A and B are shown apart, each in its own frame.
Chain A
Amino acid sequence: MASVNDAPHGRAVTARLRGVHKSYGPVRVLDLPALDLYAGQVVGVVGENGAGKSTLMGTLSGSVHRDGGEIEIRGTRLAPGSTMAAGALGVAMVSQEFPLVGQLSVAENLLLGRRPRQSRRRVLVDRAAQRAEAVAMLVEIGLSPEAVPVTRQVRTLPVPQRQMIEIAKAWGHEPSLLILDEPTSSLGPVEAQMVLGLARTLAERGGTVLFIGHRLDEVRAVSDRILVLRNGHLVADLLPDEADEERLIREMVGGEVAHGEPKARPAASPLLLELRGLTADRLGPVDLRVHAGEIVGVAGLMGAGRSRLIHTVAGAQPATGGTMSLGGRPYSPRGPSDGVAAGIAMIPEDRKEQSLITFASIRANVIVPILRRISTRGLLGPRRERSEAQRIAANVNVRMWSVDQPIGSLSGGNQQRAIFGRAFATRPRLLLLDEPTRGVDVGAKAEIYELIDRAADQGMAVLVASSELEELLWICHRIAVLNHGRLVAVLDRADATKERIMTAAAGTSHTAPDLLSNGATP
């Protein structure tokens, strides 16, 4: 392991951190005795959730007020907890949540908090100059102004474009230290490549990029140096060629991870879900069959319709054509409650927004769907509630000290397990999953996979949408590939490779009949 103070030959130090630490309550989430970041490098940062990556970024960008220690940016001390001070020293950050103001135009967002450089007006808004500079900023990162009109309200744009706008915004500050926090997690492969290219460009111009990544291959491809954080400590400082995937994962989780053997597809089992020519808004036609006990993955690029397919089957989005049948009966939901009544459980993509009441207790959260079942003549007792909640949590091994603690105080993986427990409690026939491991750390991922396996073992049919191909290849019996809303391929696990999936997902949108397999009995 290279020592942090071994300066690469002739490189200036962009950021010097000494004794920087931060605690939330009794938990020290970041503790860095010494760390130097050098000019002209892309520095990858990996670590599990809660390892301190975001806190490190936050202390550098000023959005987190460090408890102690000193940070120097190109020789100047950085005042703690001020985004303005950090910005003035040339630190720009692209955060995961792309904080844009939806009601304002693209141009106003790109120049949020500052004036156009060409404008001499100090108080009055110079819209022409704002627009011109916004266009220039988009062109600078390789977007065409026709693709993203600068006068459009940001909220009318799709998510990947918003992420690109956020990147353009940071790029426009001409940063000497650019912090990218999982910038590609909401992007398709092409846009992701653009972002990686930008990171390299900035490094070549003598800047420093701090690249937090969750896709290890991406981090290894783009970085000159890779830092691994675990429990707030810097545990490894590696060159890309010594940082193979095994090594990184080992450092991240602090031990060896065993790769289990993928499960074989179950023997002939009854057909559970059948979609015939299903269409919905920007989706379809989709013809797909899922058997009981089978795990079928849904792959596709950003915006290909993965979530829309899941939502349409769940009844959360209206179908516009085609038919669905569930367990041999026609199924045409008018809303999610019809889906639930038909024996479907969905675990949506965004835990905070779509699944949980984060400030409420674990108990209150997990018993929501079974309230009617566990009540007697419409009345509920706290004892019954608690015992049911305990049973649900124990069933999926939620680590907690009490079912009465707020669910938001659990780690991402634990929250997700609680959500699985809640879904299982309804005894569904069909389990719909949308990005089941988003925001979950490596160790917890394996446990989520086990839960998915268990669901299939118990005879549930599972339809799982994911942007992570490795994950789908790992857990699914078959993988359906969407391309611009259309189903273009269904690959058996034996035939499925990353390359074949990507070819189908990114190809010109026509169906390749040889790639369509619909689960004939093996």
Chain B
Amino acid sequence: MTAHSTLTPELTTPPSRSTPARLVRKLAESPEAGVIIACVLVFVTIAINAPTYTSAGNLQVMGRDLAQVGILAIGESVVILTGGIDLSVGALAGLAGILAAWFNVYQGMPAPLAILVTLVICAAVGVWHGTMVTRLAVPPFVITLVTFTVAQGLALSITTGTPINGIDPFFSNLSQFYLGEVPVPALFFVGAAIIAWFVLERTYVGRQIYAVGGNKEAARLAGIPVARRVTSAYVASAVLAGVVGILVIGRMNVADPSVGPGWELSAIAAAVVGGVSLFGGEGRIVGIAAGAILLEFIANGLLALHVNTYYQTVVQGAVLGVAILLDRLRAKYFGRARK
């Protein structure tokens, strides 16, 4: 068949030949580059203006904070990649902490067992989400909002509103231990990011999650088990929320039922800043991790710069707004047909 010549003119955009120009274009086209650059700029700017910002102690604080929002953001992003959303992660993290403490203190379970049982419960919640979304077509927003409400209420009911004290030192060892100078929770974050990156980029299951989020029908017709992929995303998100909850009670040495709800918004913000499309199928772990890091740099930086607490959330919201604005401008002028 000699039809090549007629198809070729349809092709647009011949690749640019010069390497530096191509590199610049490639950077501009990828949403991740902007976030990483922003991370560096923010860090340097604040470091110059606030000497305590780069102290070992403060870096360790940021590392531990990252373990919270960052790990939640990774799980959240996997769900968003499938085209869903998980509003329950904050409340579920809170409930997981309460459950682990309750099993440990009131049911006399050894800490590792309490953790295991808690994570299994979280996984079951993920299966529940996935099943409702894939089998009964419940909108993800709705079903995870249900869990959000119930989890928040359960945490308060179990504790009757008072924190659980006297948890096993195992928890605090987990959260307050250092490997060299690096706090262990930060390593959990790095580990979660690496595993998520590996699964999403390098395994067939991961690529199929992208396919499901990008075009569910195409994925179904290609024989990809869509329901299983979507459910696995919700399970990952719920289990990671459980991990965060357990790290948090260890950090505070007490299980406080008021902790957790609200974090889902930070997780979603980190994902969006990191270039994850809320329509699904788009976004990479590098960007998500960078998004979480950027938000943490800013939140902590505002403290270091002694910004009035009342203004801090305003600044954080403004940063989110600017990030989205810049991303859309970038997409408009450099990206091709990104939606």
Which A residues have a C-beta under 8 Å from some C-beta of B? Answer: 61, 63, 83-84, 87, 93, 95, 97, 99-104, 108-109, 112-115, 123-125, 141-144, 146-148, 153, 155-156, 158, 160-161, 164, 188, 190-191, 193-194, 197, 303, 484
Contact = CB atoms under 8 A, between A and B. Distances in A.
B218 A100 contact: yes
Contacts of A148: 7, 11
B11 A113 contact: no
A102 B214 contact: yes
Contacts of A146: 4, 8
Interface residues of B, number: 37
B214 A124 contact: no
Given A156-B336, A160-B10, A303-B10, A113 B219 contact: yes
Interface string B1-31: 1111011111111000000000000000000
A113 B3 contact: no
B311 to A, nearest CB: 38
B104 to A, nearest CB: 36
A102 B215 contact: yes
B171 to A, nearest CB: 34
Contact of A194 (B3, B10, B221): B3
Interface in B216-233: 217-224
A115 B211 contact: no
B337 interface: yes
B207 interface: yes
Interface stretch (B113-121, B127-135, B197-205, B302-310): B197-205
A484 B217 CA distance: 33
Question: From DSSP, what is the main secondary structure of chain B's interface residues?
Answer: helix
A295 to B, nearest CB: 29
Contacts of A484: 9
B203 A125 contact: yes
B210 interface: yes
Contacts of B205: 123
A87 B224 CA distance: 12
A17 to B, nearest CB: 21
B10 A158 contact: yes
Given A112-B211, A123-B204, A125-B207, A161 B10 contact: yes
17 contacts: A84-B223, A101-B281, A102-B215, A104-B207, A104-B214, A112-B219, A113-B208, A114-B222, A114-B223, A123-B203, A123-B205, A125-B204, A143-B4, A143-B7, A146-B8, A160-B7, A161-B7
Question: What are the 4 tightest A-B residue pairs by CB atom distance, in nearest-first order?
Answer: A113-B222, A142-B1, A99-B218, A101-B214
Contacts of A188: 6
A143 B203 CA distance: 29
B170 to A, nearest CB: 33
A124 B207 CA distance: 10
Interface of B: 1-4, 6-13, 201-208, 210-211, 213-215, 217-224, 281-282, 336-337
A333 to B, nearest CB: 21
Given A112-B219, A144-B8, 10 more contacts: A63-B220, A97-B217, A103-B281, A104-B281, A112-B218, A142-B4, A144-B4, A190-B7, A191-B7, A197-B1
Contacts of B10: 158, 160-161, 303
Contacts of B6: 188, 190-191
Contacts of A191: 3, 6-7
Contacts of A103: 210, 213-214, 281-282
Contacts, number: 115
Contacts of A155: 336-337
A57 to B, nearest CB: 12
Contacts of A97: 217
Contact of B221 (A99, A108, A153): A99
A18 to B, nearest CB: 25
Given A113-B223, A158-B10, A161-B7, A101 B1 contact: no
Contacts of B13: 156
Nearest to A97: B217
| Most chain B C-beta atoms within 10 Å of own C-beta, residue among A61, A153, A484 | A153
B4 A101 contact: no
Nearest to A197: B1
B287 to A, nearest CB: 14
Contacts of A160: 7, 10
Contacts of A142: 1-4
A97 B4 CA distance: 24
Contacts of A100: 215, 218
Contacts of B12: 156, 158
Given A101-B215, A104-B210, A95 B221 contact: yes
Contacts of B218: 99-101, 109, 112
Contacts of B202: 124-125
B1 to A, nearest CB: 3
Most chain A CB within 10 A, of B8, B208, B210, B215, is at B215
A176 B62 CA distance: 59
A87 B1 contact: no
A194 B10 CA distance: 16
A273 B211 CA distance: 46
A160 B203 CA distance: 30
A113 B207 CA distance: 9
Contacts of B281: 101-104
A153 B214 CA distance: 12
A147 B11 contact: yes
Contacts of A99: 215, 217-218, 221-222
Contacts of B282: 103
A188 B10 CA distance: 11
Contact of A147 (B2, B8, B220, B221): B8
A142 to B, nearest CB: 3
Nearest to B208: A113
Nearest to B6: A190
Contact of A124 (B11, B203, B220): B203
Nearest to B213: A103
A156 B204 contact: no
A124 B204 CA distance: 6
Which one of A99, A101, A125, A146 has the greatest number of beta carbons of chain B within 10 Å? A101
Contacts of A158: 10, 12
A197 B1 CA distance: 8
Contacts of A108: 207, 211
A484 to B, nearest CB: 7
A155 B11 CA distance: 13
Given A103-B214, A112-B218, A147 B203 contact: no
Contacts of B206: 125
A101 B3 contact: no
A175 B80 CA distance: 35
Given A125-B203, A147-B11, A87 B223 contact: yes
Nearest to A142: B1
Nearest to B10: A158
B220 A83 contact: yes
Contacts of A147: 4, 7-8, 11
Contacts of B210: 101, 103-104
A115 B223 contact: no
A146 B211 CA distance: 25
A36 B266 CA distance: 59
A99 B7 CA distance: 21
A141 B213 CA distance: 29
Contacts of A83: 220-223
B241 to A, nearest CB: 26
Nearest to B215: A101
Nearest to B8: A147
A160 B11 CA distance: 11
